[in-house]
């Protein structure tokens, strides 16, 4: 893969592309969500931004990277990471869902599943392998009690 493509192959780029696709779809999609979408959409976008900021702050405090494909220097398991092993990716998905509701584009709802699948394949699998290599049993214990996307076991 050319270096420039590798540099832009990051989750924010994929999120922007999915939101762009939703916007294009909104040009032909009949309105469905109406006032609900106008309220829930911005609310979900705001919630996603807050979760993302909280996770990034926790990672910065632990002095570990938030950049995919870099080796972690710490395993963060508290705060928002106690409820999701991938709170930043979860926040991205919530932002995408919020944008779809806000744009009132029901045809865009499958984009959320597409985004989640893409993120799992392109980023999460590699990150979990790195975490397993770096932290072994500690990562395994956290993964056993914390779901990948949301919830505790």
φ, ψ (nearest 5 deg) of residue 146? -125, 125
What band does 127 get if pLDDT is binned at 50, 70 and 90? very high
φ, ψ (nearest 5 deg) of residue 46? -60, -45
CB-based contact 139:79 (threshold 8 Å): no
Q: For residue 44, give the H/E element and its range.
A: helix 34-61
What band does 1 get if pLDDT is binned at 50, 70 and 90? low
Task: Please state the domain extents for the chain.
Answer: 33-145
Q: What's the confidence (pLDDT) of residue 7?
A: 72
What band does 69 get if pLDDT is binned at 50, 70 and 90? confident
Q: What's the confidence (pLDDT) of residue 133?
A: 94
């Amino acid at each position: 893969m050319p270096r420039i493509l590798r540099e832009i192959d990051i989750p924010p780029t994929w999120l922007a592309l999915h939101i762009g696709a939703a916007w294009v779809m909104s040009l032909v999609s009949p309105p469905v969500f109406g006032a609900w979408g106008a309220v829930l959409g911005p609310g979900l976008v705001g919630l996603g931004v807050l979760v993302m900021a909280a996770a990034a702050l926790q990672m910065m405090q632990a002095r570990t990277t938030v950049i995919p494909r870099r080796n972690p220097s710490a395993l963060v398991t508290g705060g928002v990471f106690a409820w999701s092993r991938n709170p930043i990716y979860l926040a991205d998905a919530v932002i995408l869902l919020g944008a779809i509701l806000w744009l009132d584009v029901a045809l865009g709802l499958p984009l959320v599943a597409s985004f989640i699948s893409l993120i799992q394949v392109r980023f999460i699998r590699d990150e979990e392998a790195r975490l397993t290599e770096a932290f072994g049993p500690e990562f395994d214990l956290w993964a056993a009690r914390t779901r990948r996307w949301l919830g505790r076991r």
